[in-house]
Chains A and B, each alone.
Chain A
Amino acid sequence: MNPKLRDHLTRFQSLAALLLMVLSLSLHPGISDTFLSQENTLNVLRQISVNLCLSIGMTLVILSGGIDLSVGSVLALAGAVAAGLLKDGLQFPTFGVGVQFTFLGAAVAGLIIGAALGWFNGWVITRFRLPPFVAALGMLSIARGLTQLWTKGFPITGLGAEFGFIGTGRWLGLPMPVWISAALVAVFVLITRKTRLGRYLYAIGGNERAAQLSGLNLRAIKITVYALGGALAGIAGLLLTARLDSATPSAGLGYELDSIAAVVIGGTSLNGGRGSVLGTVLGCLIIGVLNNGLVLLEVSPFWQQVIKGLVILAAVALDRMNAKE
């Protein structure tokens, strides 16, 4: 089959799956009222915006032929650092000096932490030629450990209204996280489709050797991609922390799975080189509606995990079958 047509078809498949899910939940007599309520709709949108931020970054990384399993931990550390700085500032007891952080300063610090960890991932992968998932597994543990150290194992709460606004506030009736993630989608759709960096991602993911012989600086591009992925995980950490008014040491556990699932369900190939940010938006919506539907149907959380795992396997299997054609 013509691959371009196939890409359209994958997107159409995802769209059809989403519509089918929405339709069946809407028609389900027990929950249709709750499901269709404005409150629930906004809730779903707000919930997926954290995953969406992560998944945009994951899309970039996977397009370039890599993978990042550390985003959940990076999210936790970025959120915790921002929360800690906001609440207590930075203390240097030896000098008797303390630095206070404004809400913006703390948010930027969280973002920088995310980008720095991502940069480190990219550096390790390119410098030592490690398989990306190995490097990311290392970072998964490192960032989680640093989060525990920074929080001393306790949640950091009481972060103030200003910071809380980016998680719980609304503008023109829509939750702030939705605006923020929508803006990020717009920016990264533009980057992937209309900039050199975007084209480089597709080229490297499609054929790394050909990309190198075309004069692309593989190292710089890969490091940039992982740093961007880390920064987006940082933003996701800020959104989550602000929404819960709390940064917990175990925040974001297992989020990398939801994120990879959204990317793959959205039609991006795990082999790299094929896919899109818009597809990932669709993937996030599907995961979000699935989660929401299972909760509303009062399916046990244990079964929810089983079902989600099966959906992910199905999506990856479909991707493999498509790739073979």
Chain B
Amino acid sequence: MREVSLRVQRGEILGVFGLMGAGRTELLETLFGLHPREAQGRVFLEGRAVWFRSPREAINAGVVLAPEDRRRDGLVLSLGLAANLSLACLGKVERHGLLDAIRERDLAADFVKRLRIRTPSAGQLVRHLSGGNQQKIVLAKGLATEPKVLLLDEPTRGIDINAKREIYQLLDGLVADGLGVVLVSSELPEILALADRILVISEGRKTAEFSRAEANEENIMKAALPRN
């Protein structure tokens, strides 16, 4: 990651496109506080300068990452749906300092309904759910922290067309409610369909930025290809 400046506003999806190795994931991870020492730069959240030294700080400030590899980075496969969903906001399901099973189940039921997660029960082990439903749980886990900015890394990789459509609809609703989204995707049609603005990175640098009107596959690909 060398030089990237970006700006995302409330109620807006900023698409980030780049080829493999362009630094897409690194960009999101840096914004999320995962590489506090390796990276430099300035991040502003609602006009205030912030620099997260850990995911905890990012989450507390209202920035959350839904990682690409859900089985490796997103979920604890040995835990149930409800326990995964509440993991980033356990304070919410506590009562008198102890975890409250009813609150936890209610939180899970709420998101199961909102995101149309198909599961036999809130206690179901996530390893037994389909990829699409697992992806929805990763999203729900992030959303449960009530973020202002959602960093999305390849949110529809390897999931079926129905789940894909449902995730698109969900994003529309969230953005309408004022969430800011940074969407990293290697699927051009997805970026073109969802993003209000599109940032192209190549070899760790920002090479172009397009409004929705300007963007097309050709000029995006051109900016994404390495220079030499």
Which residues of B sit under 8 angstroms from A193, Cβ to Cβ? 99
Quick one: CB contact mask for A255-298 with B, threshold 8 Å, 1 for yes? 00000000000000000011000000000000000000000000
Q: Does B159 lie at the interface of the complex (its beta carbon under 8 Å from any beta carbon of A)?
A: no
Quick one: CB contact mask for B42-83 with A, threshold 8 Å, 1 for yes? 000000000000111011100001010000111111110001
Q: Does A324 lie at the interface of the complex (its beta carbon under 8 Å from any beta carbon of B)?
A: no
Closest to A198 in B: B99
Contact B55 A214 (CB under 8 A): yes
Quick one: CB contact mask for A1-26 with B, threshold 8 Å, 1 for yes? 01110000000000000000000000
Q: Does B106 lie at the interface of the complex (its beta carbon under 8 Å from any beta carbon of A)?
A: no
Q: Does B97 lie at the interface of the complex (its beta carbon under 8 Å from any beta carbon of A)?
A: yes
Contact A196 B94 (CB under 8 A): yes
Q: Does B98 lie at the interface of the complex (its beta carbon under 8 Å from any beta carbon of A)?
A: yes
Contact B79 A202 (CB under 8 A): yes
Closest to B72 in A: A209
Number of interface residues of B (CB under 8 A): 33
Chain A, 195-220, CB within 8 A of any chain B CB: 195-196, 198-199, 202-203, 205-207, 209-217
Tell me the complex Cα distance, A205–B78, Å.
Answer: 9
Q: Does A194 lie at the interface of the complex (its beta carbon under 8 Å from any beta carbon of B)?
A: yes
Which residues of A sit under 8 angstroms from B79, Cβ to Cβ? 202-203, 206, 273
Which residues of A sit under 8 angstroms from B127, Cβ to Cβ? 3
Shortest CB distance B84–A (Å): 8
Closest to B55 in A: A215
Selected contact of B141 from candidates A190, A194, A195, A214, CB within 8 Å? A214
Tell me the complex Cα distance, A214–B91, Å.
Answer: 13
User: Given A210-B75, A210-B76, A211-B76, does the pair A199, B87 have CB atoms closer than 8 Å?
Assistant: yes
Q: Would you give 18 A-B contacts (Cβ < 8 Å), ordered by A?
A: A3-B78, A194-B98, A196-B99, A199-B83, A199-B87, A199-B90, A199-B99, A202-B83, A203-B76, A203-B83, A206-B76, A206-B79, A210-B72, A214-B59, A214-B141, A215-B55, A215-B58, A273-B76
